[in-house]
Amino acid sequence: MMKRFLFLGWALLVWGMGNPLALAGETRDEALPAKAETVETVIKAEKKDHYWRTWDVGLRSTHFQMTSRQAYGNINRIDEQQDYTPTNLYLGYNFYGNLALVGEAFLKPLVGRTRNRDVAFSDGDLEYTPYLLSVQGRIPTYCLFKPYLSLGVAYITTGFNSQPFYRTGYESPEQYNRFFATSGVLKVRQFVLDDYVWGFHFGAGSDFFITKHLSLNVDLKYLVGKANFKYQIYEGDTLVKDDRGQFYLDTFFVGLGLRYSF
C-alpha cells in the first residue's frame, strides 16, 4: 500500500513539473492568448518611433538656382545672388500618422541679377520671396534617418529694382548726363511687375537625428511659378512703348539646416 502511495505521489510530481500551469488551476489553452498578447505588446514597444514628435521648428540655409534663362531688353541670362546665412524658417505640425503640414518662409528676398551686372547699361534686378505650404509624407524607418517627400503650394511676392538712370530711358549714365546738358523731352522707362503670384512646389528630404529632439535636415525642392510684367516708355506724358511679358520663377533649392522636434 505504501508503495502505491509513493508511486502516485511521484507521478503527480512529474506531471506537475511538466505542466506547471495545471497546478495553478489553469490549462495551457487558457494561458496561450495571454502569452501571445504579451509578445505582441513587446513587438509594438520595440517598433515605437522615439524620434516622432508633434511639432517641428527649424532654420535652414539655402542655395537656389533659377532654371529658366530668360531675356528681355537688357534683362538677359539672369543669375542668382546667393546669401548663405540661415534665412529660411519653417514650422511643422504632424497631424496624422506619418503626415505633416509644414509652413516655410524665406526671410530675405531671392535676387536674380543680369549676367552682365557689371556693365553699366543694365535695367535692374529681379527679386522674389517664396512662402511655402506643403504636406510631408514621412517614411517610417525606426532609426536615426527620417526621409520624406513633400508637395504643396507657393505664395511668391515679386519686385524689380531698376537702375536709377534707366528709369529715364537711357542706356548708360553717360547718355543720361549728356541729355541733361541739353534741352529736350524727358523720356521715362518703367517696369511694372505683379506684386505677387501663386505657384507650386515638390521635393524630398531627410532628417538625421543627433538627439531625440534635435536633427540635421537636408531638403531638395523645385519651385514652379511665373510673374507678368509690363515694360513701358513715356516721352513726356505720351506713352510710346507698351510691351508685356512674363518672368519664369522656376527654381531648384538645396537646403541644409537644423530642426527641433517637441
- pLDDT at position 104, please? 94
- pLDDT at position 167, please? 61
Low-confidence ranges of the chain (pLDDT < 70): 1-53, 69-78, 114-123, 164-173, 176-177, 179-184
CA–CA gap between residue 142 and residue 43 (Å, rounded): 13
* For the chain, domain boundaries: 2-46, 53-261
Q: Tell me 140's DSSP state.
A: P
Strands (E), 18-123: 55-66, 71-72, 75-76, 78-81, 88-96, 99-106, 110-114
CA distances from 251 to 108, 171, 175, 255 (A): 16, 30, 36, 13
∠ CA 184-185-190, rounded to 5°: 135
∠ CA 121-125-128, rounded to 5°: 165
pLDDT digits (tens, 9 = 90+) for 201-222: 999 999 999 998 899 999 999 9
- pLDDT at position 115, please? 62
Fold held by 53-261: Porin (2.40.160)
